[in-house]
Amino acid sequence: MTDRKLLVVATGNPGKLKEMQAYLQDLGWELQLKPKELEVEETGETFMANACLKASEIAKATGEWSIADDSGLMVDALDGQPGIYSARYGRTDPDRISRLLKELGNEPNRQAQFVCAIAIARPDGTIALQVEGICPGEILHSPRGTGGFGYDPIFYVPAQQQTFAEMTPDTKRSHSHRGRAFQALLPQIETLVK
Ligand code: ITT
């Protein structure tokens, strides 16, 4: 059924898009970027609620299958902030990073986790699949590395002894919150086209 193979990627974030494309490239779905003018207001109170909202609204607006990612950084010493507000924490990536470092100051507890919720919606807007992935780490005192996007330069993963921004795309792909969510999603996505 070729009409079920088109998948609209419901993101306006180029860093995220690049990573999502890498996970989805070998699946046999034809990927299409969501039209720029279609913006969905993130009114949900959880990552999953917002992922479902974005996938569902873009699916209904385009009449196609849609996949959305809602993600963010939860910092223990800031009671889980910026969390679902990670994108709204500042105007640019450097703004968001400096605000986070300022809020944390010299706080000794640097524990944090990245969370990624992914939802796939059918053309009628109903949710077909939802998964979540988490990656624990620590917030550094200053940025390190030039890869990735967003908060990557201050997010250090002790097991790899690198920040996300120091990792190769492949290493980030294997260990990140998004990677873990996609590892759960990929076996299930195959069943959707049947
Ligand atoms: P879309 O909603 O259009 O997909 P967005 O950037 O607004 O794009 P979110 O609402 O999910 O996406 O916000 C996620 C924010 O969390 C994002 O802007 C980054 O700052 C941060 N983030 C998510 N995943 C990240 C990653 O892998 N590395 C670094 N920062 C990440």
DSSP string of 33-62? Answer: EPPTT-------SSHHHHHHHHHHHHHHHH
Evaluate if residue 194 carries a pLDDT over 60.
Answer: no
CA geometry: angle at 137 spanning 90 and 45, to 5°?
Answer: 50
Known active-site residue 79: no
Per-residue pLDDT tens over the stretch 42-59? 999 999 999 999 999 999
pLDDT, greater one: 123 or 193: 123
Q: Is residue 24 part of a domain?
A: yes
Q: What is the DSSP letter of 171?
A: H
CB burial readout 95-108, b (16+ within 10 A) else e:
ebbeebeeebeeee
Q: Looking at the domain assignment, is residue 23 inside a domain?
A: yes
Arithmetic mean of pLDDT, 169-191: 94
Question: What pLDDT is stored for residue 193 in this prediction?
Answer: 62
Q: Which atom of ligand 1 is nearest to the CA of 72?
A: 16
- Domain of 149, in residue numbers: 5-189
CATH code at position 38: 3.90.950.10
Q: Is the pLDDT of residue 83 over 60?
A: yes
User: Which residue's alpha carbon is at the smallest distance from atom 8 of ligand 1?
Assistant: 13
- Tell whether the model's pLDDT for residue 12 goes beyond 80: yes
Residue 192, Cβ density class (10 Å: 0-12 exposed, 13-18 middle, ≥19 buried): middle
Which residues have CB under 8 Å from 16's CB, separation 6+? 69, 71, 149, 178
| 82 cis-preceded (ω within 30 degrees of 0) | yes
Provide mean pLDDT across the span 144-153.
Answer: 98
Q: Return the higher-pLDDT residue of 78 and 191.
A: 78
The protein residue with its alpha carbon nearest to ligand 1, atom 15, reads 87
With a CB cutoff of 8 Å and minimum separation 6, the contacts of 1 are 193
Total number of domains in the chain: 1
% helix, strand, coil for the chain, step of 5: 40, 25, 35
Question: What CA–CA distance (Å, rounded) separates 22 from 1?
Answer: 24
Question: Residue 26 corresponds to which tokens in the numbers above?
Answer: 């070998």
Mutate to test the pocket of ligand 1, among 11, 16, 46 (most ligand atoms within 8 A of CB): 16
Q: Which of 80-89, 159-168, 185-194 has the lowest mean pLDDT?
A: 185-194
pTM above 0.85, yes or no: yes
Average pLDDT of the residues in 146-169: 97
- What mean pLDDT comes out for the span 91-102? 98
Asked whether residue 194 is domain-assigned, the answer is: no
**Residue 160 placed within a domain:** yes
**Contact residues for 102 (Cβ-Cβ < 8 A; gap 6+):** none
Would you say residue 95 lies in a domain?
Answer: yes
93 alpha carbon to ligand 1 midpoint, in Å?
Answer: 10
Report which listed range, 27-41, 123-137, 179-193, is most confident.
Answer: 123-137
